[in-house]
Amino acid sequence: MPRFQPPHTHLLHNRPARWLGLLGCLLLGEAQAELYKGVAPGGNFALENWNITVPQDADGNTTGKAITIRPDQLSGPYGYQSRWFRTDPQDGSMTFWTPINGATAGGSSSPRAELREMLDPTNLGVTWSGAGESVQDALLKVMQVPRDGIVIVGQVHGYGSAPLILLYYRYDFSKQTGRVIAKLQGLPEQGPPYTNHVLATNIALGETFSYQMKVSHNVAMASANGGPVATMAMDPAWNSETFYFKAGAYLHMHGDSATEGARVKFYRLAASHPNDGLLINSPAALPEARVGQPYQAQLSATGGLGGATWKLVSGHPPAGLTLAADGLVSGTPEAGTASATAHWFVAQARDANGNTHHKKFSILIPQ
């Protein structure tokens, strides 16, 4: 299990944020997306390429080996839900709950309710290289933490090696506030050398924040709330390793309590691999729509191989509008969608070779 040593933590202040590129479009206004409350998480988030490990064993207890739910069981509006992983009926968020007495797996003594990326939903061994470009973006709230104050909410994990990037929230009970920290691992073996970087401070429990993790041309990067970016040129020892993303609520401790633990709510989760020049070039702010009036807006992408196929990966367009596989957003906005703030959703383009790129789009429907 990773070791955290605050004395070696670096506060990222007065550094230029040189990495916005791919994710700059995702940092526009962090209002929540349109999330349906009456569906499983797979009805609001594209989970076809994720599995999840939950802190429950095959007998429904928390004492044995933790089980993993397959992508085909997770995806869609009628997919897997449980007390560990569900849609919050109040706000539609994808909610993870991990008690400290939860079942464990994978050689770790700490429990987790955590998604694991699968490029091929039938084969864990299909992973990605650090020499290309890969990015994960999330919008979330940490609602509860265990006594050590720590919950891991994102990882770039090596396939058979240590996490390259480990992103966690650390709450200070005396100050009643928390920090978002990225651990960048120097070598594939767990342990030194590594560095911890404070990405954001003064994040209270229940406060929304965003994070981004990116690996591009053998450089590992992480940021939070669109702030300064922690970067690390990867040692050549990483060249033979491959990677996958993770997201959820992974603890740093284990205990006997069924009520002490971490609860994390995700409002956005998107992972992409935009290689071969694939790039969504449509403006993030789509044309305004009007209630009761037909609407069309065409999303477009350049580069890649063989054209692009589109899908939603987080949230939905305003009620009455849909996104087609050819990138056309169309329909007639329903009554009740007019608002002083824009609706947003995240769409992903995929080329014929499996390269992907995601972008957040907004549509304003004036009152």
Tell me whether residue 1 is in a domain: no
| Same-domain check for residues 267 and 299 | no
In the predicted structure, residue 5 carries a pLDDT above the cut 70: no
In this prediction, residue 106 has a pLDDT band, given cuts at 50, 70 and 90, of confident
What distance separates the 2 farthest-apart alpha carbons in the chain?
Answer: 60
- Whether residue 145 contacts residue 134, with contact meaning beta carbons closer than 8 Å, is answered with no
Query: Which pLDDT score, from 0 to 100, does residue 337 have?
Result: 94
Cite the DSSP H helix spans in 42-128: 71-74
Q: What is the CATH number of the domain that holds 305?
A: 2.60.40.10
Contacts of 123 (CB under 8 A, 6+ apart): none
Q: Are residues 322 and 209 in the same domain?
A: no
Torsion of CA 252, 257, 260, 262, to 10 degrees: 40
Examine the pLDDT at 18 and tell me if it is beyond 70: no
In a domain, residue 143? The reply is yes
| Residue 289 belongs to some domain of the structure | yes
Mean pLDDT confidence for 162-186: 98
Query: Please, what is the average pLDDT of the chain?
Result: 92
| Overall average pLDDT of the 115-135 stretch | 97
Flag whether 231 is in a domain. yes
Say if 241 falls within a structural domain: yes
Q: Which two tokens stand for residue 302?
A: 């350049």
Q: How far apart are CA 226 and CA 220, in angstroms?
A: 16
**Which among 311, 305, 329 is positioned nearest to 319, based on CA atoms?**
329
- Are 12 and 152 in the same domain? yes
pLDDT of residue 30: 43
DSSP β-bridge partners for residue 134: 215
Shared domain for 194 and 235, answered yes or no, is yes
Same domain, 235 and 351: no
Least confident stretch, 15-29, 84-98, 200-214? 15-29
Task: Check if the beta carbon of residue 212 is closer than 8 Å to that of residue 23.
Answer: yes
pLDDT at residue 16, rounded to an integer? 35
Mean pLDDT for 324-329 is 98
- Global pTM? 0.92
Is residue 173 located within the same domain as residue 82?
A: yes
SS3 326: coil
pLDDT at 33: 73
Alpha-carbon gap, residue 141 to 204, rounded angstroms: 9
Q: Which residues contact 59 (CB under 8 A, 6 or more apart)?
A: none
Any idea what the CATH number is for the domain that residue 162 is in? Answer: 2.60.120.200
Domain ranges, residue 334: 279-363
Across residues 209-228, what is the average pLDDT? 98
- Contact between 88 and 82 under an 8 Å Cβ cutoff? The reply is no
- Total number of domains constituting the chain: 2
Q: 147 and 101, same structural domain? A: yes
Residue 117, Ramachandran bin (φ over 0: left; ψ between -120 and 50: alpha; else beta):
beta
283 and 314 both lie in a single domain: yes
Instruction: Tell me the residue length of the chain.
Output: 367
Average pLDDT over residues 69-90: 98
pLDDT per residue as tens digits for the range 20-76: 333 333 333 445 578 999 999 999 999 999 999 999 999 999 999 999 999 999 999
How far is residue 46 from each of residues 49, 201, 260, 298, measured CA to CA in Å? Answer: 8, 30, 30, 21
Q: What is the pLDDT of residue 11?
A: 52
Over residues 116-139, the mean pLDDT reads: 97
Same domain, 83 and 207: yes
248, 272, 296 - which closes a domain: 272
Same domain, 210 and 116: yes
Burial category of 343 from C-beta neighbours within 10 Å (exposed 0-12, middle 13-18, buried 19 and up): buried
Q: Using one digit for the tens of pLDDT, what is the confidence trace for 219-242?
A: 999 999 999 999 999 999 999 999
Give the mean pLDDT of 252-281. Answer: 97
Q: Is residue 54 domain-resident? A: yes
Could you say which of 226, 256, 272 is where a domain stops?
Answer: 272
CA atoms of 55 and 11, how far apart (whole Å): 33
Q: Could you say which of 210, 240, 272 is where a domain stops?
A: 272
